[in-house]
Amino acid sequence: SQKIEQNSEALNIQEGKTATLTCNYTNYSPAYLQWYRQDPGRGPVFLLLIRENEKEKRKERLKVTFDTTLKQSLFHITASQPADSATYLCALWFTGTASKLTFGTGTRLQVTL
């Protein structure tokens, strides 16, 4: 079965730096990979989607890369701000009739002044 790994340890970075979060998976490559932000006590909020034939996707200060050889997606937040502090989840969808969107456990990002 597919496994999704996100660093369970919190990532602490200084304001203004670039935060990089990783999402690793095993076995088959997903057809779609999504990133969500979740604040405490709230539901996840969609940020970006990248398809298997795309290497990179950008949205404002956010950038997602997708490396099917390394079986890894990187999520970058440039010029990070304290308001970026949250938990970030990756979610993968694999081709197949029984496929469902599968979420990682998330990585908590803490941006300090």
Q: Which residues bind other proteins (CB under 8 A)?
A: 4, 8, 31-32, 34, 36, 41-46, 49, 89, 91, 93, 100-101, 103-106
Using the minimum distance from each CB to other proteins, give the nearer residue, 100 or 113: 100
Give the nearest distance from C-beta 14 to other proteins in angstroms. 28
Per-residue b/e over 55-87, b at no fewer than 16 CB within 10 Å? Answer: eebeeeebbbbbeeeebebbbbbeebeeebbbb
* Residue closer to other proteins, measured from CB, 85 or 87: 87
